[in-house]
Structure 1
Amino acid sequence: MPDGVQIRRLQVIGEREIQGLSEVLIDCVEGGASVSFMWPMTVEKARAFWLKTAESAARGERIVFAAEDGSGAIVGTVQVVLDLPENQPHRGDLSKMLVHRKARKLGVGAALLTAAEQGALSAGKTVLVLDTASDDAERLYRRQGWQYSGTIPDYALMPDGAFCATHIFYKMLQPRS
């Protein structure tokens, strides 16, 4: 992990966290990431998303992690969605894996993945699933031991409106010995 960067599970997502998480989300969307949002990406859209996410986390439906640099600024985030159908109590969805462009290729993504996997395991999950439209993220997931399952063409839109495929990955989690 990069010097000075710490991964923190956000038990309470307050105004400071909402602001930092919004900045990361806006940066990723402005950089072209297909993460559910279209251009123009506004502060209002980002705040609304994180406020809704904070409510979901407070209800125990998801776990939210933040990567903070040495100054305490949020430079990345990831979520584990726990609230799934009753026939999938063992599964979680990895969601909104976001790293600010200034913090990429420094190990932040790998550290966030490790935290998410450990958090999911401690919540009783034994398999995680994710989808990504990013080639860079796909390489990270493969390096971290995630298994490629397939590609769905025209799955979503890029922020500019162009269609994009998504790549599905899963990881079987094992308890630490």
Structure 2
Amino acid sequence: MDDACLDSRRQNGDSGAAPVTVRVLTVAEAQAAVLLDCVAGGASVSFMAPLDRRTADDFWRKVAAGVEQGERILLVAEDGEGILGTVQLVIGQPPNQPHRADLSKMLVHRRARRRGIGAALIQAAEDAARAAGKCLLVLDTASPDAERVYTRAGWVKVGVIPNYALWPEGGFCNTTYFYKELG
């Protein structure tokens, strides 16, 4: 990733709210609070409830290894109180897909929802993908709220796979796939 991507920052202009910055996260800063909160809040993000801190920390160590190996880009949104949300770009793809990346694990802490954090993370991820030479992004989500955010950001809904995964408390959930071609 080049320096322009590392220096890419977005300020959230919400009136009355503390400024929010979106930036590339360094490996040493990876932490589990947002993941723990999202799973506790019912988000289907690959983990079952109750999610313990050790499992969350193990997940972030694996993400950090991917960042160190140049396979992932990790972005965070934060304010004066700490990290509000994260999103990952999986840029390490097979040889026949060098133009593509997966947008993965967009997590927004419940205290920060409906403040434009998701939209800011998506825009920063798209910018980072362009800087990494990617022109096609794909993602999947089980969240109707996230679907609205992706649709507003110009992502194209491909379809829904029923009973794809489980909610953290159990029970099947559908997963919706999206893509976006970057200009």
1:18 aligned residue: 30
Are residues 1:4 and 2:19 paired? Answer: yes
Q: Percent identity?
A: 58
Report what 1:105 is aligned to: 114
SS class of match (1:125)? coil
Work out the CA distance in 2 between the residues paired with 1:128 and 1:142: 14
* Aligned with 1:90 (options 92, 95, 99): 99
Specify every segment of 5 or more residues in structure 2 that has no aligned partner in the other structure, as ranges: 1-11
Q: How big is each residue's C-alpha offset from its partner over 1:129-165, in whole Å with a ceiling of 9 and x where there is no partner?
A: 0000000000000001000000001111110121111
Task: Provide the C-alpha distance between the structure 1 equivalents of 2:50 and 2:133, rounded to a whole number of angstroms.
Answer: 38
Aligned twin of 1:76: 85
Partner in structure 1 of residue 181 of structure 2: 172
Counting matched residue pairs gives: 168
**How far apart are residue 28 of structure 1 and its match?**
0.3
Q: What secondary structure, in the 3-state scheme, does the structure 2 residue paired with 1:124 have?
A: coil
After superposition, give the CA deviation of every residue in 1:85-110 in whole Å (9 maximum; x if it has no partner). Answer: 11111000000000000000001110
TM-score normalised according to structure 2 size: 0.90
Code of the residue aligned with 1:13 in structure 2: it is V
Unaligned runs of 5+ in 1: none
Q: Which amino acid aligns with 2:21?
A: Q
TM-score normalized with structure 1 length: 0.92
Aligned to 1:119: 128
- Runs of 4+ off more than 2 Å: none
* CA–CA distance in structure 1, aligned partners of residues 173 and 64 of structure 2: 28
1:70 deviates by 2.5
Shift of 1:18: 2.8
